[in-house]
């Protein structure tokens, strides 16, 4: 019972910090395009968004190991303990890498960034393939767990799409104080407007995953 309580709490905290961090970053991003806000205040808001966004990035990395361990201690899966340890070691190593990249403030080595990107794509394809395999009846994973794997894969994929969409954000922020300020302002607004539907898509998947955990369809 102690193990179930601990890992249930950890998995709940993943959901809380992911959704809460996303909401905080989403709200603060409004100040990047709010008329009349000085450039220095917008740069501060951008830093706050970037720092707060590490909460959902951390939660994404910890979602799988906490969920996998919870499924094991609740008896939904029977996994070798060494495999669980291996998953946690990889996850914690990835988490350390993600924070190291963040602390470099855009100056992280290409190897670090490519490793992080490769891990995200591996997670997407691994989760999607496992879920599809089980939904097709070839595996024994409960349906609600397979659907949760698809939700996590979808959240990870949307996160990568958001990264791609937000690439013009930095140059637009730097251009606000220059001679092309109005063009930079327009680029900034367009970039954030393109990202917002993707962010709300992540929220929808997170809420769906939480509902699946409560409802537990066979």
Where exactly are the structural domains of the chain? 2-215
Tokens of 148: 């949760």
Mean pLDDT of the chain: 91
Q: Given this model, what pLDDT does residue 217 score? A: 67
Q: Given this model, what pLDDT does residue 218 score? A: 60
Q: Given this model, what pLDDT does residue 1 score? A: 78
Q: Given this model, what pLDDT does residue 154 score? A: 97
Lowest-pLDDT choice from 47-56, 66-75, 181-190: 181-190
Measure Cα distances from 201 to 23, 125, 159, 183 in Å.
Answer: 13, 19, 10, 28
Taking the C-alpha atoms of residue 191 and residue 170, their distance in angstroms, rounded to an integer, is 10
Taking the C-alpha atoms of residue 58 and residue 123, their distance in angstroms, rounded to an integer, is 14
User: Which H/E stretch holds residue 53?
Assistant: none
Model confidence at 181: pLDDT above 80: no
What lies within 8 Å, CB to CB, of 207 at 6+ separation is 19
3-state helix, strand, coil in the chain (%, to 5): 80, 0, 20
């Amino acid at each position: 019972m102690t193990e179930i309580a601990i890992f249930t709490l950890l998995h709940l905290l993943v959901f809380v910090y992911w959704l809460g961090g996303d909401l905080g970053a989403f709200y603060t991003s409004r100040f990047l395009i709010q008329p009349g806000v000085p450039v220095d205040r917008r740069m501060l808001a951008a830093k706050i968004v970037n720092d707060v966004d590490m909460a959902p990035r951390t939660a994404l990395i910890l979602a799988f190991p906490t969920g996998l361990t919870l499924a094991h201690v609740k008896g939904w899966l029977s996994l070798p303990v060494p495999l669980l340890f291996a998953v946690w070691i990889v996850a914690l190593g990835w988490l350390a890498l993600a924070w190291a990249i963040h602390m470099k403030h855009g100056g992280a080595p290409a190897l670090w960034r490519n490793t992080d990107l490769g891990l995200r794509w591996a997670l997407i394809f691994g989760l999607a393939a496992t879920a599809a395999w089980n939904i097709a009846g070839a595996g024994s994973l409960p349906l609600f767990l397979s659907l949760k794997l698809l939700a996590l894969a979808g959240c990870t994929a949307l996160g990568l799409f958001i990264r791609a969409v937000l690439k013009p954000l930095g140059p637009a922020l730097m251009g606000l104080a220059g001679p092309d300020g109005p063009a930079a302002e327009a680029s900034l607004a367009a970039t954030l407007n393109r990202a917002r539907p993707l962010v709300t898509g992540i929220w929808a998947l997170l809420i769906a995953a939480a509902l699946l955990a409560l409802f537990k369809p066979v």
